[in-house]
A and B are shown apart, each in its own frame.
Chain A
Amino acid sequence: MIATSVSAVTIFSILFLLVYFSSPLFTEGRIYEIFSLQWQPFGGKYGILPMCAASLCLSLSALVLAFPPAIGVCCLIYALAPRRVAQFFLSLIRFMTSIPTVVYGFVSVFLLVPRVRDCFDGGSGFSLLTATLTLSLLILPTIVLVFHARLEQLDPTLRLTSEAMGFTAVQQVRHVFIPAAGEGLVIAAVLGFARAIGDTLISLMLAGNAPQLPHSLFASVRTLTSHIALVLATDSRSMAYQSVFASGLILFLLAGAVNLLIRKAAKKSGRSPHA
């Protein structure tokens, strides 16, 4: 039964190792070098701010793109569609979670990239836009399933009451269910965002990976996650390594912050976040 402590120990050791390896940054006063806008390892510039900006940009735009359809599908499954259709959509969404990320990325390389290239004259087609489109597909099931679980927790009498008041199904969804599950919307959005920030493969395969500030939809950008993968895949100098550990630390702390946020929201509504 000591087994559970394994996960607790793991968490602390991850934190310890990441801090341990990025500590030279803080002790040697190089922190400014890391948080600067230039990444030119051969010019001795190791700024990871462009990657932070790209990560935020990509995840936020994917969230904005995925959120409305996700909520739409949720309403279909919960109230609007006939039972069988609703069941089918729920299974479809669950199936989407089982599609490997690498397959999403792979298909996009051959389907989406050429289209983007042709439609917008956007250089190579490996861009913020391409990655955003694919990423939104990836995080959509997360949003749907989280919000759906929250809707399922609603008091069943709510449905009966609103039926009795003569609301149509659409009116029920719009004026009763969604307001009642309001914090579920927030939790679903936050979890979708976290999923987007943490994903490596989509941005690595589709975003183009140039370390620059995202200035347009067709710009090639590099996220924190692909930065880690790229730097470690090529042997580089120690300072570059330290920037990787800093990136890892940022991502890890972000994940922790998201977790705390969701716990707070769940506490407020007095329910467990796991339904």
Chain B
Amino acid sequence: MNAMLYALCLLLFMIGLYCAVVKKNMVKIVLGIVVMEYAVNLFLIMLGYRVGGTAPILGAADADGVDRVVADHFLATAVDPLPQALVLTAIVISLGSLALMISICIRTYEKYGTFDITEIRRLRG
């Protein structure tokens, strides 16, 4: 089950990479990159996921008298909070770069009148 989820995650990553590398339309290339980013975010979330897990929050009642039993129960059921924090950061960063990519696409369309990268070739390789 778990291995299949990771495989699907890798597949999503590959689909994004394929789209970013092969497609000729600038907007599709941008979308390919976004799909890759989502695949990695999904992978990060799955690293901390635990079937039937609880939120990684110690309640006030627990915190007052944290004894061995409560602590062990918490460690046994809580999901890993760190990947969630990482994913939030990664989403904000990808939002920033996505905004810039889309605005460059719009400015390029204004100049060239097309999104097709085979027609946008003033620079020699």
Specify whether A and B are partners: no
| Interface residues, chain A, with chain B CB atoms under 8 Å away | none
| Interface residues, chain B, with chain A CB atoms under 8 Å away | none
